[in-house]
Chain A
Amino acid sequence: GQNIDQPTEMTATEGAIVQINCTYQTSGFNGLFWYQQHAGEAPTFLSYNVLDGLEEKGRFSSFLSRSKGYSYLLLKELQMKDSASYLCAVRDGDYKLSFGAGTTVTVRA
């Protein structure tokens, strides 16, 4: 099966920066996704990486290293509304998405 690991919980202060790491071991690789999921809601798409490097989108950035099986999501200038679960998902060789268990980020005032 696929193996995707990310920390269970992280806490940070409003205005700070938080980095959520994701490591993966999958049968093939066709891209890595990050989703945001607020409690009781559906996951929503944040970012996509298929090549090595950094993708920046406003306050959120995502990095990928395929050789290391590693990605991170960087959240800058944290706001209270960023309190949510962040899901790392890898599209494998069969083009199926496998999800990590998610990282719950709590932003404190």
Chain B
Amino acid sequence: IAGITQAPTSQILAAGRRMTLRCTQDMRHNAMYWYRQDLGLGLRLIHYSNTAGTTGKGEVPDGYSVSRANTDDFPLTLASAVPSQTSVYFCASSDSTAGGRDTQYFGPGTRLTVL
């Protein structure tokens, strides 16, 4: 079982370019999340999806969009990258229908540099 995979592992991108970060999980979790992690700020929620077909905005959604066409995939798109989007991006998933703990499991991350 792979859990959660993310691609690419790292990317250097010119400002103004469009970029899609991929995230796939094989745990059949209903909920998926995108976070960015910056030094001194911790993990901040960008967008989330409670179930296939629905998405919601997190704490820092501006400049990002997501889609959830099926249970397994949750891509994050930067329509026109800016240097402030340089960060490490983590995708996570959880089984929120189980109630109680609803632990989030994280992918390995994508290190993105926007120049």
Contacts and interface: CB of A to CB of B under 8 A. Distances in A.
A48 B35 CA distance: 20
A45 B33 CA distance: 15
Given A1-B59, A95-B96, A45 B105 contact: yes
Interface string B17-44: 0000000000000000101000011111
A29 to B, nearest CB: 14
Interface string B47-64: 010000000001100000
Contacts of A1: 59
A91 B103 CA distance: 10
Instruction: Give chain A's interface residue range (CB within 8 Å of chain B).
Output: 20 to 34
B58 A96 contact: yes
Q: How extensive is the interface on chain B, given as a class?
A: 20 to 34
19 contacts: A31-B102, A33-B104, A42-B90, A42-B106, A43-B106, A44-B106, A45-B104, A48-B101, A50-B100, A50-B101, A87-B43, A89-B43, A95-B102, A97-B33, A98-B59, A99-B42, A100-B42, A101-B40, A101-B42
Interface of A: 1, 4, 31, 33, 41-45, 48, 50, 87, 89, 91, 95-102
Interface of B: 33, 35, 40-45, 48, 58-59, 90, 96, 100-109
